[in-house]
Every structure is written in structure tokens, then in C-alpha cells.
Structure 1
């Protein structure tokens, strides 16, 4: 669907009707928003009607750091080199050769720098400011993102000895209880998305078009990661807590209240209904 038509629909037909049209486009079925049964339907209902007020702070990649520090400790946070409204005034000479630049108010806007000496700072500044100027969340009905003050953060680039980004462990938590884990493996090469239950038994489904035939050994620190995710999600009806296992340590990624906006189909799609029973 063309971007101008998407914006026109969002501006004219209202959030609920727009949501049904967009979800139908991605999921292949009309969502029952008022009596949801599938997991995606329940994510959609929650994002439209029941997102907690704390979602603004917890979705802000800068503000959430204080929350994480208070619950589980500062050592679970990735090293932060800078946070602010713009890159103006950043002393790039003081930064390491590798780092990552992020926008605090969405899942986009990440810029990986592996060779600082070859980076074009003006181009980077233009790219990150372009993203910050967007109303992220409006076209996906994740409107709590609109209340986050846009900022930039520069963090340590987490890589293994081969230069690979560590696997991303995403814990689906319901009132502080983890019931499913999504693993994004080899995101920048051979991207697989795998799902496991809370005991690390592999589920026989995937997400959208991503391969899911591979299998992973249970991480040595899995129990600690799950415990951290459950602590951070306590008293929250539903949230996904993203963590990294990096150099024998655990690092916090982010907290997400509407994964993929509720618009990503499971493969085979019958598992969307089966997973609805988790909530």
C-alpha cells in the first residue's frame, strides 16, 4: 500500500477502522478487536485500548535505563557514551572506533559504525535527524511513542570475536510470567527467527517469511535472563522484554508493548490462534 494512501487512511477513517484494514493487509484475516482470540488480535486490542501509562517511559530507550538500573542493577545496561537532542557537540574523537547510534523513540533509526575514521558525520546527522522528525508510532497505532521526547543515544556496539551481533532473546511476559521466547539469530546475515517455550522447548512455527528450521542450544545463562525479564515485567499485563547474551554477560535491549504492531503473521498461521491462549 502506497505511503500517501496509508497516511490518508489514518487521517480520515479513524484508528479502529484503519487498524482493521492494515491488519487484514498483513495477517490475511479481519481481526476481531472486541472479542480477540489470536495473539495478534490481543496485541491489537491492547495497543488500542489498554496500554499502561508507564509505556511512554518504558519504551523510551533513554528513560528506561533508570528503571532497569533500579530493578536489576546498572551492570545489565549496555555502555552509554552519549545521549542528547542532537549530535552537535559530540566529541567523536573520544568515541571508540566502533559504536552504534540509536533513536530513543522507536525500533528504527539505528546506525552501526564499525570504522569511525571512514564515517561521514554529516550524513549520519542527517539520517538520524530525519528519523527523529518522524511521528513514529502514528501509522501503526502505537501512539504512546508520540509522547516520547526524541533523543539520540550512542552505545557500545556489541559484537563477538567474529564481528557478529549477538542473538536477541525476546521474552513474552504476561503479568510478570514468561510464557514464550523469540530468538532473532544472525540478524544481519542469515536471519532466523525461532520460538521456544519457557522451558526452552522449541515451538514448530516461525514468524512471517523468516526461516525457523534451525535449532539453538539453551544458553548457559537462560534462567538468569528469564528471571530478569520477569522482574522487569512484574505487574504489567503484557510486555516483551528484549535481552542479549554478550561475552558471558546479559545486557538489556528494550521493552516492547505491541510486538510488530500485531501485524506479523505466524507460520503456519494456525499458531496465531493457539498462541492466543497464552494471554
Structure 2
């Protein structure tokens, strides 16, 4: 109860005292002070970027899950965009009858605002619309002080449902890019089972000694480089040259690359799971 009260207070004051709120969130998560004067690890440097880079039109454009499509196309990468069925100002504008049996709904102004519909006949439309309305009213930027989301004109997107050959969630490939150079990729597998694993590889598909990958290294048992990996590297390079740091996220379906999003503040710069990766990835980011 006390923790929830503190979080609510931080959310309310985030737009008035953003730096103080960021420091409080960091201390709550890591039990140590945030060093914005001389940041060293990735989490600290992401916090620094919040106050020195991210309140900028290009970041607002690229954090917007709708308008980032313009940016991707402008970089000559329009072929990797997922199919878009519709864009709406409010849930009442959605004609569910016209949508296919499978689709994905998402709000464009934050993270985690996703409704995945794998069977329209079983979708509770009233519940779905209530959830979308709640998300549209939420200032996502104030939750953990992420200014790139603040000025986004809020919309609902409906996109094509993407799935792997087994009918499950496709694997995610998240490229950590520094000044337009992909350095490492985090592969997220097993989402459909609710117990995802996060494996890290360098750009030659050698495993990196981070987090869940340590288990693979100890067993000398890790997956082969996927068909399409070099294409993802190419797209990551094309899309990230304008930024000191961004994570470029993709899906890979039977060798076809599908754009996910550009993520400027992974886990809001509060990722306690990074540990050793926090230091090594942070060393790649020159502020």
C-alpha cells in the first residue's frame, strides 16, 4: 500500500519535478542513488538521455507507434512495416465487423498498450473498448518520466496479427544500437508460455555472457543464427543512425523481417535484470 502511494505521488509530480521523480524511481528500483553527473551503466545513461536528448521532435515522432511508420519509410525501409488495418481517435470508431478474425489493437503513446485478438468471435468488445479508453486517458510519459511520449497525439492502431509457424507469438529480436551501429541483439523466446527467456548475441551470433545466455553457454547449446539475421542487422543500421542510443525491435517470420518499434528507454532505464549487461552495454554509449 505504501509503495503504491509513493508511485502515485511520483506520477502526479513527474511533470513538475521530473528529475527528482526519476531519481526516486531509480533509488526505489536499485537501492542506490542515480548519478546523472557521471553516469556509467546503461540504465544511468538512459536516465541522462531523458533530460538531455529525448524532449525533441524526432524522438516524439519515432516513439509514436503510428507516425514512426513515416520515419521507417523515409529511411527506405517501408517494406518491413506490418499491415495497418485502421487508425482511430477513439474505440467507438472501430468497425469490428470489418476486421479479420485475427488482429492486434494498440495505443500509440506508450508501451504495453496491446490487445491481441486471435479469435474475433470470442472478443469481448465492450471490455476491449473500456480498456482502450482507459489507456487513451493515461499520460504514459509521467509513469516513469519518459518525455518522448509526452507530446504524442493519442491514437488507436489496428494491425495484422503476426504469428510463427506454430501459431504462437514470434520471437523478438531487439538490437541495441549506438550511433547507428548495432552492438548486441537480445532474443526473446517463449512469450506464449508466459515464461520468456532473454538471450544475448553479438553481431556475429556469438553468445554474450549476459543473463539467461549464461545458461546456454554453460551447456554449449544455443540456437543457430536465424535466416534473416543479416537483413535485420541491415535494417537496424538504417533506422538508428540519427540517435546516440536506440533499441531497434523486429520480428522474424520465415525469414521475413517485420518492424516492431524503436525503443529509446528500455524498461524506462530501470531494468534490474541487466546486471553485467548494464555495465558492458553502457560502455558503448558515449554521451
Note whether the superposition's TM-score is higher than 0.5: yes
Q: What is the match of residue 231 of structure 2?
A: 224
Q: Does 1:43 align with 2:50?
A: no
Call closer, same or farther: CA 1:90–1:23 in 2, change over 3 Å. Answer: same
Map 1:207-246; keep pairs closer than 5 Å.
213-214=215-216, 215-246=222-253
Q: What is the match of residue 121 of structure 1?
A: 125
Matched residue SS, 1:179: strand
What's the RMSD between the two structures over aligned residues?
A: 1.9
The superposition leaves residues 93-131 of structure 1 with CA deviations (integer Å, 9 ceiling, x where unpaired) of 221111111011111220111110121111111001101
Q: What is the match of residue 207 of structure 2?
A: 202
Q: What is the match of residue 156 of structure 1?
A: 160
> CA–CA distance in 1 between the matches of 2:64 and 2:96?
24
The superposition leaves residues 2-21 of structure 1 with CA deviations (integer Å, 9 ceiling, x where unpaired) of 33322323518822222222
> CA–CA distance in 1 between the matches of 2:203 and 2:273?
18
Q: What is the match of residue 265 of structure 1?
A: 272
Runs ≥4 residues deviating over 4 A: none
TM-score of the pair, normalised by structure 1: 0.92
- Retained in 2: the 8 A contact 1:47–1:257? no
> CA–CA distance in 2 between the matches of 1:194 and 1:203?
8
Q: What is the match of residue 4 of structure 2?
A: 3
Q: Does 1:172 align with 2:176?
A: yes
> CA–CA distance in 1 between the matches of 2:150 and 2:48?
19
Call closer, same or farther: CA 1:271–1:155 in 2, change over 3 Å. Answer: closer
Q: CA deviation at 1:236?
A: 1.2
Matched residue SS, 1:47: helix
Q: What is the match of residue 219 of structure 2?
A: none
Total equivalences in the alignment: 275
TM-score of the pair, normalised by structure 2: 0.90
- Retained in 1: the 8 A contact 2:88–2:94? no
Q: Does 1:253 align with 2:260?
A: yes
Q: Does 1:278 align with 2:279?
A: no
> CA–CA distance in 2 between the matches of 1:4 and 1:246?
43
> CA–CA distance in 2 between the matches of 1:185 and 1:72?
29
- Retained in 1: the 8 A contact 2:77–2:235? no
- Retained in 2: the 8 A contact 1:164–1:186? no
Unaligned runs of 5+ in 2: 217-221
> CA–CA distance in 1 between the matches of 2:3 and 2:168?
35
Matched residue SS, 2:188: strand
The superposition leaves residues 168-215 of structure 1 with CA deviations (integer Å, 9 ceiling, x where unpaired) of 111111111111111111223130011112222111112xxx786343
- Retained in 2: the 8 A contact 1:27–1:264? no
- Retained in 2: the 8 A contact 1:170–1:182? yes
